[in-house]
Structure 1
Amino acid sequence: MSHGKTREDKTCLNCGHQVEERYCPHCGQENVESRHPFYFLFTHFVEDFTHYDGQFWGTLKNLLLSPGKLTNIYLEGKRQKFVPPVKLYIFVSFVTFFMFALFPMVNIGSDNADKKNSKISFLDKMKSPETQKIFDSIKAQKNLTREDSIAMKNLSLLPDTATVENIQETLDMNKAIDNDFSFSGYKTRKSYDSAVAKNPSFWGFMLNPIAHKFYELKEKGVTKKELMKNMVEKSYHNLPKALFLYLPLFAFFLWIFHSKKKWWYFDHGIFTLHYFSFLLLIILFIFLLSKLTGLISFNVLNALLYLIICILAIYSIAYFYIAHYRVYHTHGIVSLMIGGILFFINFFAFMFLLTGLAIVSFLMLH
């Protein structure tokens, strides 16, 4: 409910009709003063979602605790009781990604002061004489077991000249992408282009831009830390767009598996908006709880938080099956089968989308 002051003039500023009470009977606009203090912008934004006679909180409650209820009510034509699906998704998306920006998901690198105050690192332990002797004794063996070979290879310890310092150097995030790094075995763009010209690949249209970007970053001396940081930032900025683009695809998969006469694509779109709004909220809750675990040193409380995170993750999966069953009114087993098929289809489709997002993010680096 708005707290704006009612105008003395009873002529509607929007359509010119006479306003007997607070709202215009012709267009519905509230007849309040049009000029407000600056803080009104923020209070009005909050009021839009929290002061519609409990509309927002009722929507939030039903969205989280009553799978499918909001979709059913909306498709029945009762569209004033709760926040509209599109408006709800935009608001939840805004809050979720605002919190991600406020509390970064990935903190790449750490200050020297933090390193000094932290416990002994894994690499410091590996540089101990005792550990180095173990590695040397393993390398000296003529016949290594399969497990030892894989472990030594992954740690880059197979060459005779390798030392523990090599591992630290390899993992050093401040190290630039130098000549030790290659793309498909080619260390320079010239050698790569020459090989591609002789033996063109079907995937060249996708691999060539990635390779050229790799060599471009290599020539600029970009460090691994800068590369990782920029990749995370670019992916984060592209993620809302990717999710928004995936909405119609998710609805399309629903449309394929249900009766075209009974269910319109619009109906699936409403279900999708409500489900994705729920998923964003669950992701936000899990994100905040995981951040909280890093701030609490009390083991029992941490264990409780991890338990809640696991419950939320399981609930997010079960939510879809419950909502699908309540909205589409299919038989329990049929709903479970369709839900399972849709889950796997959407999983692979979304993984494909995330891969594309990562490629686009990489190509946007500079």
Structure 2
Amino acid sequence: MSHGKIREDKTCQNCGHTVEERFCPHCGQENTETRQPFYFLFTHFIEDFTHYDGQFWGTIKNLLFRPGRLTSIYLAGKRQQFVPPVKLYIFVSFITFFMFALFPLFNLNFNEKEKNPNEKSLFEKIKAAETKEKLDSIKAQKNISKEDSAAIQKLTVIVPDSAKIDDFESALEMNKKIDESTAYEGYKTQKSYDSALAKNPSVFNFIKKPLAHKFFELKEQGVTKGEIFKKLAETSFHNLPKALFLYLPVFAFFLWIFHHKKKWWYFDHGIFTLHYFSFLLLNILLTSFIIKLASVTDIRAINMLLYLLISALIIYSILYFFIAHHRTYHAHGIVSVFIGGILFMINFFAFTFLVIGLALVSFLMMH
């Protein structure tokens, strides 16, 4: 891999040793010209990470299509062939959330046409779906055949018609402000709520009181329900990378509990966790991209194919854990499935709890 023209001077600029070829045999620094064009900053970064010799692309290929192989090879001591786990996770995490920031999956601007007259709201996108259009067109016919009547019943079960969506949108009242008549657990002011809380203390007061104070603060600001939902979603999104990073040692801890302590160290479980979470982030990014593609495609056959692909990716993301767990820990098939199932459920509930906590923190951080 070349990062520039080799210097004519054979003295290493880093340690002063003689460099016969490209790299210094003493410190390993590349003996190339130090003054480079500006674009070299970007090409150097790409070369360093992707290693045009195939390290990066080989890592991605094995990560996506060969569950558990990267972890097994790394723990076996072969650590130069692929991108290190920590470096891989940081890069994948950065790319995933950067792409989400550039191309948000959904528009959460409920009833804000005065700000964006050409932008459809979430409910408008739902009503514009092809299935609903067909359902409304069938209902508009004067003489409905038996086949059409049966189709209406089936489609109504699958998805509500436009009128029902309008009712749902009105019921949510996303454009309605939190006015004076709105109460929190029956209390319309913060003073009355604090007084009641002082009379009936609870072990959950440390959670309930800050949430109530934030509610009354937003009430004074006169924000709408739609604005609260949007801010909550945005704040949660910004906090999600931190939450995932904090959950990494927890996931590895559960693995450590269920496996032989002498044979498998906590470090080993950490490597498995980094690889698995890197896969999940890439899978989420790919799935989101396909969902975005399906939302702008009007051809029904292509949409059906895309939704089948989305379903396949979701199923694969679940099966991936069991396959990777079996190949990494070399457990018997039935034992591996049993332990993997327990670990999957424990982590599912633990991460759900973390997401709820993240939503509460995001609500408290709203301003």
TM-score range relative to shorter protein: 0.7 to 0.9
1:14-163 alignment runs, 5 A limit: 14-109=14-109, 111-114=116-119
TM-score normalised by length of structure 1? 0.84
Map residues 1-366 of structure 1 onto 2, 5 A cutoff. 1-109=1-109, 111-114=116-119, 171-366=172-367
Q: Give the partner amino acid of 1:176.
A: K
Amino acid at match of 2:198: A
What is the alpha-carbon distance in structure 2 between the residues aligned to residue 200 and residue 244 of structure 1?
35
Contact (CA 8 Å) 1:68, 1:323: kept in 2 or not? yes
Q: How many aligned residue pairs are there? A: 324
State which drifts further: 12-21 or 184-193.
12-21
Structure 2: tracts of 5 or more residues without a match:
129-165
- Alpha carbons of structure 1 residues 329 and 234: separation in structure 2 relative to 1, 3 Å: same
Instruction: Give the whole-Å Cα distance in 2 for the aligned partners of 1:42 and 1:71.
Output: 30
Given that 2:13 and 2:31 are in contact with CA atoms closer than 8 Å, whether structure 1 keeps it comes out as yes
Output the CA distance in 1 between the equivalents of 2:126 and 2:69.
52
Asked if structure 2 preserves the Cα contact closer than 8 Å seen for 1:169 and 1:175, the reply is no
Deviations 1:151-191 (A, max 9, x none): xxxxxxxxxxxxxx997665343322112332212121011
Cα distance in 1 between the residues matched to 2:256 and 2:327: 16
Which amino acid counterpart does residue 87 of structure 1 have in structure 2? Answer: K
Using the alignment, how far apart are the partners of 2:52 and 2:213 within structure 1? Answer: 54
- Per-residue deviation, 1:19: 1.4
Deviation at 1:321, TM superposition (A): 0.7
For 1:115 and 1:83, locate their aligned partners in 2 and report how far apart those are by CA, in whole Å: 42
Question: Deviation digits for residues 256-300 of structure 1, max 9, x if unmatched?
Answer: 000000000000000011111111111011000000001110000
- Partners of 2:125 and 2:317 lie apart in 1 by 36
Distance of 2:318 and 2:176 partners within structure 1: 41
Structure 1 pair 251–170 and aligned structure 2 pair: CA distance change class (3 A): same
* Cα RMSD for the two superposed structures: 2.2
Mean Cα deviation higher: 183-192 or 341-350: 183-192
CA distance in 2, matches of 1:120, 1:264: 49
Choose 80-89 or 50-59, whichever is displaced more. 50-59
- Provide the TM-score with structure 2 as the length reference: 0.84
Deviations 1:44-91 (A, max 9, x none): 222123234101111111111111111111011000001111111111
Post-superposition CA distance 1:210-251 (Å, at most 9, x none):
110110111111222321221111111110010011001100
- For residue 215 of structure 1, what is the amino acid of its counterpart? F
- Give the distance between the partners of 1:307 and 1:275, measured in 2 at CA: 23
8 Å Cα contact 1:2/1:44 also seen in 2: no
Distance (whole Å) between structure 2 residues aligned to residue 178 and residue 34 of structure 1: 64
Deviations 1:183-208 (A, max 9, x none): 21212101110110110111001110
